[in-house]
Structure 1
Amino acid sequence: MTQPGINEIGAIIRNIRKERGLRLEDLADQNISPATISNIERGVPHVSLDKCMYVLNKLDIDQNQLSDLLADKRQGMDHLEFELLSIETMNDIGSPNDALKELNRLNLADSHPYAAVMYYIKGKCYNSLKKLHKAEKCFHNAIRLASQSDALENSNIEAASYTELGLCHYYQNNLEEALSFTENGMEAFVSEGERPHFRFVLLRNKAIYLERLNRFGEALKVVEGAWKELDQIGHMQVVLGFYCLKAELLYRTGQYDDAIEVAREGLDKARMECKHDTIFTLWTIMASIHMAKREWRNAERCFQLALFLKGTSVKEKFFAFTYSRLGVLYIHQERWNEAEKVIDLAIQIGERYHDAPRLLDAFVIKGDFHRIQKQYREAIPFYQKAEKLAHQYKYKNKLGKILFRMAKCWEFLDDKEFQACLQNMYNIKKETEEMVEDDLEEIS
């Protein structure tokens, strides 16, 4: 009999024992210990089938009765699978509180074969509700139980839980931890298992976290590896995510014409699917590309098209980056009043949603806004806020650029502070060994 069969027998023994009000000790004798019976009930791998049959005989369960009980058990498991699928769907369509109520109604014990699935769905619900610490606890439980259950060895619940743990840390601006959990998920993924789309979700998320860490070359390598299998991805949102990533990374690495080609192809697919968020993202990327090429008129038109999607399904927090980049455009054109207005909007949105990377960028651009107008004292507080965020979230690749900008201000105000900035720049350089170009372009 296979190990899943022994798991099923163990569950049947436990149910019958509890129905009859028996303790483990009541079934134990000189041939079998309470610990062994407990192992049988929990489906511990090393338990022999003979021991299982011995306990069944003590419970007066013959082979025919066992077959009937197993059939009933499997029917019940099929129904439970359906229940869990319906509950997960409830969360996915925006009803996490209702889904949690249903999960609490099921109240599966940790010893249940589907307990890991329950914890995974519960973690997703808490993620949806932004109760991230509760979500993390659920995902860790799901990983622990899934790794112990042969019945779930092909379910990819472990890989899915690592994916969600990565998102938990990403939402808290812990990018290194998000990347680490995502790589764990890739190691846990079973190629021939269930939930096959998670392979590409994990690759996409890894590339996102690398991009946010300014590790553009590594991120692009991940995207290009997945690009060869793009037609195998059944989830259109994941496909469109790869288009956004590739266009962004090609732009970051100076491959502007290739970036425009990918962005336009992605826009065609997004428009056919009416995916407003992707359309918004790609027009913002297109704007950045045209800015890099100093094609100001085209850049402004792209920004206008992106901002035209305000009030649609595009989430407000995503507009912080667009407003920041538009502010850079206006600075280049010396449209100071318009620049300050949109940069302040970017700061407000970044603060509202605790989006550290975008808020840091907005602070730097606001500092640039003042510095370029030789308003050095007004610029320094914004650079200092950016520096604080960079230290808080360990964005070491951004620190050098921030300190250099600050030094450009202190040079005209305070020689002691200027020298301190230079010393700090040296310390950062020494610590990281090699400064990596980040995404904050110098405005001159």
Structure 2
Amino acid sequence: MATIDVDAREVTVALTAMERVFALRRTVRIPVAHLETVEVLDDAYAAMTGLRAPGLGLPGYAKVGTWRRRSSATVGVVWGRGSGLRLRASSGRVRDVILSLDDPQSAHDRIESVRAGLAAVSAVRIEAEVDLVGELVMPDQARGMLVLLPGSGPLDRDGDAKGLPLGIQRQLAECLADQGLASIRWDKRGVGESAGDFLAAGLHDLVADAVAVVRRAEDYGLPVIVIGHSEGAAVAARLAVECPTIRGAVLLSGYARSGLEVLRWQARALEADIPGFVRFVLRMLRTDLEKSSEKNRQKLLRTTTDVARLGGVRVNARWHREFMAYDPAGDLAAASQPMLALGGEHDLQSPPDDTLRIADLRSAPTTAHVVDGLSHILRSQEAPTVRTYRADARSPIDERVVSMIGTWVDGLLGAPASDR
């Protein structure tokens, strides 16, 4: 029978090996902050309604898998006609879970006890060039407000892209709320609930959106700190100059050269990550990936429209032109706020050496660390590769990252009252 566990961040439903086979599903994880209801059921089997797709169904005895209805679906691990527990979430990949449990009331009480101690979570709307929608996390006696800047691509407020749920911004919000830090994160324009067209947006548009979020964050009367990952780290550098009232900035997997040079560095780094057989085929076909990628970059630099086709695929051409032209080094040198720069030893998308270069560029207080074994997506790896991103994303971000941010913020704002 499946087991259920809960900590301050998520409810974990661990299936047995047999149940994973029947359900075609691995461990189910639901962020505690996303839970809407936790309900004890007298008859878990009867609560599983809809059509099995996929799963194991034994009439009157077992429903293990996904049962779908017209507009929703339930993941269930139900054995027999006994009592159980239902979990309903407001968002995420799994919204409805029903489990057979020997003592559902005890599980219910444990989860509700954790929920009672959570920071308040609410939707927030930001008036920018387009209307942006996101999430505000507000712990009791908050001592600072974080603006969480996402990486590149069509990311939602959690930092998830279609097919790659990294959850970087969500995890930072949840972990740092435990340290008395409120936060705002949002769906990029044209993504999730936010208005606009993502493909037509340039890098400068995204900076303007971030400025609007900072102004909204300042309404709460708390010191504002921006935390940017990847593209968001470059946006954070620009914000530090455009919004001098920001108290400080954290740059995760950032860089200190032009976007064009970053893309060239990426092409060389990623070529080394290609499997040997693929490299052999490319040599047989006389294909030089570095030259091919440079040719595409030059094509994008010559475009004049917001959106262009590259290899038959529509791409956000204006974003690429502006990204390749922008070098954050000037803003990093000009910004007067304290900064923390954290890079990964195994980063293949931002040059790890740039983390230390950020500190060299600045006269203002700066702390910089290259974290051993850390990848671009803030997970630990034994060797640098992007091929394990999907598997890596099932694990939380490296706890060293959260710890370093927390320690740095304590130095900036003072330790939480409970630690004094």
| TM-score category, normalised to shorter length | under 0.3
Bigger proportion of residues as helix: 1
Report the TM-score, using the length of structure 1 for normalisation. Answer: 0.27
Rg larger in structure: 1
Report the TM-score, using the length of structure 2 for normalisation. Answer: 0.28
